[in-house]
Structures are given as C-alpha cells and as structure tokens.
Copies of this chain bind each other. A is one copy, B any other.
Amino acid sequence: MNKGEETRQRIIAAAAPLFNKRGYAGCVMKDIMAATGLEKGGIYRHFESKEEIAAEAFDYAWTVSSAHRRKGLEEISDPVDRLKHYIAGFVTRSAIPGGCPLLNTGVDSDDGNPILRERVRSALRGWRKMLAGILEEGIASGSVRPDVDVEKVSRLIISGLEGGMLVSRIEKNDQALKDAMEQLDAYLETRVRAPGVERKTSRSGTRPTYSHN
C-alpha cells in the first residue's frame, strides 16, 4: 500500500464511526478533519465528494461488523445451529460505535444519497446471500426441511434482528433483542429444522450478556 492509499484508508477508518453515529448530514467535514488531523484539502485529495467518503465509510463499517458477527461460525457444523449462533452473536456483540450500520445508513440514505443507498442495498443482498447459503447447505445435507423458502427465512432473520435492535436502542435495554432471538430460535426449531434431526446443544445456547447497539 503506498502512502496515498494508506492515508485514504486511515480517513475511511476514522470517518466510519462518525458517520455511523451521526448520520450523513450530522457528520460534517470538521469532524473528519478533527478525527484525522488533516486539513479539508488533504482529505479531498483522496475523495471526490463527501458522499464518496460516506460510501467507503459505510462499506468499512459493514465489513468490520459482519466479520465480528460471523466469529466462530465456521466451527459449527450443523447449519441450523450455525444460524442460531449467528443470531446470538448479533444480539450480544457490537463491533463499531453507533450500532448496526445497516440500520443507521438504511434509514439515513433513503432520501437522496444514491451512491450510499446502493452500498446499503448491496450490503443487505450480501447478508441475505450469506444466510441463504447456510440454509441451502442445510437442505443439501438434510438438516433443513427441503421445502423451506430460503429467501423468506433469510429476510425474516434480518427483519427480526433489525427490528429488535431498533426497539432495544430506543428502550436502552436488550429485552426486544432477546425476545427477537427467542422467537427466531423457536421458528428455526419448529419450521426450518428437518424433523428427526437430533438437536445438538449448540454454542448459541450459552448467551453472553448484552453489550451495546
């Protein structure tokens, strides 16, 4: 990485929590200047517009959050247990100040900001694809019912978690997220897991204490 690219990456990493917490309009150039120690001209040498910084910052925040939420996932062989572990991780872990970037930027970018909007859509598509992939693996291996609509279940998991996160954030406690997890777990056990497949004690059974979001 050359010096210019290094500076660009440093600006993105510093801007990511600012945009995530304050939103697009609420994060002003002065904030990014203060966080990076750079002048406005030094920042705009690396980006064409504020929207480009915000778009790169969103991608960065999403990559960091997604990696954090997927921690330990590959160690779990059963696909339904893996989804339950993923859900528990979502409920209890937060990787970046300001909470879920998809919730923040999804709400923030729907009036104007077409570049940012497209990044959010793409992040959501990737998220759905990741969950659908686990379900398809389960169908192939026989641990998930063959008639499960993988698109619908993926969407329900995302909706349930994001809605629980919004309510938890407003109420400043984790009850809504815990309720969402409980409902999704029950849904996965009763409607998604193939009957006759023995339920393992998955790692999602251990529920660490709620942190933030």
**Secondary structure of the A side of the interface?**
helix
Query: With contacts A167-B158, A170-B106 known, is A111 near B22, CB below 8 A?
Result: yes
A residues 167-203 with Cβ under 8 Å of B? 167, 169-171, 175-176, 179-180, 183, 187
Q: In whole Å, how far is A190's beta carbon from the nearest beta carbon of chain B?
A: 9
Give the chain B neighbours of A121 by CB distance below 8 A.
170-171
A62 on the interface (CB 8 Å rule)? no
Query: With contacts A23-B26, A25-B26, A26-B111 known, is A156 near B169, CB below 8 A?
Result: no
Give the chain B neighbours of A164 by CB distance below 8 A.
159, 163
Tell me if A155 and B170 are in contact (CB < 8 A).
no
Interface size on A, residues (CB 8 A): 40
B interface footprint on A141-179 (CB within 8 Å = 1, 0 otherwise): 000000000001001101111111011011100011001
Tell me if A23 and B108 are in contact (CB < 8 A).
yes
Instruction: Tell me the A residues contacting B by CB distance below 8 Å.
Output: 21-26, 98-99, 102-104, 106-108, 110-111, 120-121, 124, 152, 155-156, 158-164, 166-167, 169-171, 175-176, 179-180, 183, 187
